[in-house]
Amino acid sequence: MAWRRNGTPPPAAVRSGGESSSVTKGAGSRVKALVMAYKLLDMAQQRWCRLNAPHLLPLVRAGVLFVDGVQQEREEIVTPRRKAA
């Protein structure tokens, strides 16, 4: 019992980590995974904005500039006014 003198167990008594452990990995069950996914989507949905003009989305993706909701022509690009704080 040499290992009791110095306080360290023999190498055979130490878990190598390769064996299965009781620690749950992942969600634990399918129901818990669905609950977590639902909560994540519900929180994300609170931050979503509804598009009031989905027909303008291709213009936005093409790089057309809109200032205060009005489409700007290339030659009349105006810097947006900022409200005084």
Note the pLDDT tens digit of each residue in 58-81. Answer: 998 998 888 888 888 876 555 666
pTM: 0.34
* Residue 37 covered by a domain: yes
pLDDT below 70 — which residues of the chain? 1-24, 75-81, 84-85
For the chain, the domain total comes to 1
What is the 8-class DSSP label of residue 66?
Answer: E
- What are the residues whose beta carbons fall under 8 Å from the beta carbon of 78, sequence distance 6 or more? 67, 72
Residue-number span of the structural domain to which 38 is assigned? 26-74
* Residue 41 covered by a domain: yes
Three-state secondary-structure class, residue 75: coil
User: First CA to last CA across the chain, in angstroms?
Assistant: 77
Q: Hey, what amino acid is at 4?
A: R
* Residue 34 covered by a domain: yes
Q: What is the pLDDT of residue 19?
A: 59
